[in-house]
Amino acid sequence: MNVTTEASPPVRLDQDYFALFGLPHRFQQDRGTIDQVWRELQAKVHPDRYAAGSPTERRIAMQWASRVNEAHRVLRSPLFRARYLCELAGHPVQAENNTAMAPAFLMQQLEWREAIEVARQSGDAAAFDLIESELLEARRALVATVTQALDDESRDLPTAVARVREWMFLERLLEDIDVHRP
């Protein structure tokens, strides 16, 4: 059965990562499927497959395999995936240049940062656990909003961008906890 042969779109190096992996442009994805497609694509394009090929084939294989790995890195991470979807929709997150935040979130963020500093000075593992569970809870709420903003039929990109930016701050705080936890 070869029904899909003619229907399958051409595959090009400059295609977006979702199209490259044959996935819908959605935030919600199954990690197992992403990993599976990654391995299937690498099995076709990895330079090891072309070690006996011409120099041209080896070069093209390296470009493709690099592209497939980069796609996998972005697609498998929920945060990178959300950022990427915003970007594709013409709403780049521009985290480096644009640090405007809702005042309430900024306050909250400062409080967490102070709490981490206090916990670090006292070396209190239980305090770290408490902050972490608060952060994880906050992240769950953000992810739910981002999911809705990106996957609902009426996409709300400004909201998605704003929440993704806050999400990035949360990830940084979670990393700090990992680094400083006794």
Partner 1 sequence: MALLQISEPGMSPAPHQRRLAVGIDLGTTHSLVAAVRSGTAEVLRDADGHALLPSVVRYLPGGEVNIGREALRALASDPHNTVASVKRFMGRGGQEFSAERTGYDIVNGDGMLRLRTVQGEVSPVEVSAQILAKLRQLAEDVLGDDLVGAVITVPAYFDDAQRQATKDAARLAGLNVLRLLNEPTAAAIAYGLDHAAEGIYAVYDLGGGTFDISILRLAKGVFEVVATGGDTALGGDDFDSAIVDWLYQEHSLDSLTAVERRSLQVAARQARERLTDAPTAELLFEAGGRQVTATLDHQHFAELGRPLVQRTLATVRRALRDADLSIDDVQGVVMVGGATRMPLIREAVGGIFGREPLIDLDPDEVVALGAAMQANLLAGNTAPGEDWLLLDVIPLSLGLETMGGLVEKVIARNTTIPVARAQEFTTFKDGQTAMAIHVVQGERELVADCRSLARFELRDIPPMVAGAARIEVTFQVDADGLLSVTAREQSSGAEASIQVKPSYGLSDDEVTRMLSDGMCSAEADMKARALREQQVEARRLVEAIRAALAADGDLLDAGERNAVDSALAELARLAEGDDADLIRERIESVSAATDSFAARRMDRSIRAALRGRNLDELA
How many amino acids of this chain bind partner 1 (CB under 8 A)?
A: 41
- Asked if residues 28 and 147 have their Cβ atoms less than 8 Å apart, the reply is yes
By CB under 8 A, residue 1 contacts partner 1: yes
* Phi and psi based region of residue 77 (left: phi greater than 0; alpha: psi -120 to 50; beta: remaining): beta
**Least distance (Å) between residue 92 CB and partner 1:** 12
CB neighbours (10 Å) of residue 73? 12
By CB under 8 A, residue 175 contacts partner 1: no
Taking the C-alpha atoms of residue 42 and residue 121, their distance in angstroms, rounded to an integer, is 47
* Contact track, partner 1, 2-41, x by CB under 8 A: --xx--x-xxx-------xxx-------------xx-xxx
Is 125 strand, coil or helix? Answer: helix
Site for partner 1 in 45-84 (CB under 8 A): 45-48, 51-57, 60-67, 69-70, 72-73
**Least distance (Å) between residue 44 CB and partner 1:** 4
By CB under 8 A, residue 176 contacts partner 1: no
Amino acid at 62: M
Amino acid at 76: R
Residue with tokens 């006794």, as numbered in its chain:
182
**Binding stretches for partner 1 (CB under 8 A):** 1, 4-5, 8, 10-12, 20-22, 36-37, 39-48, 51-57, 60-67, 69-70, 72-73
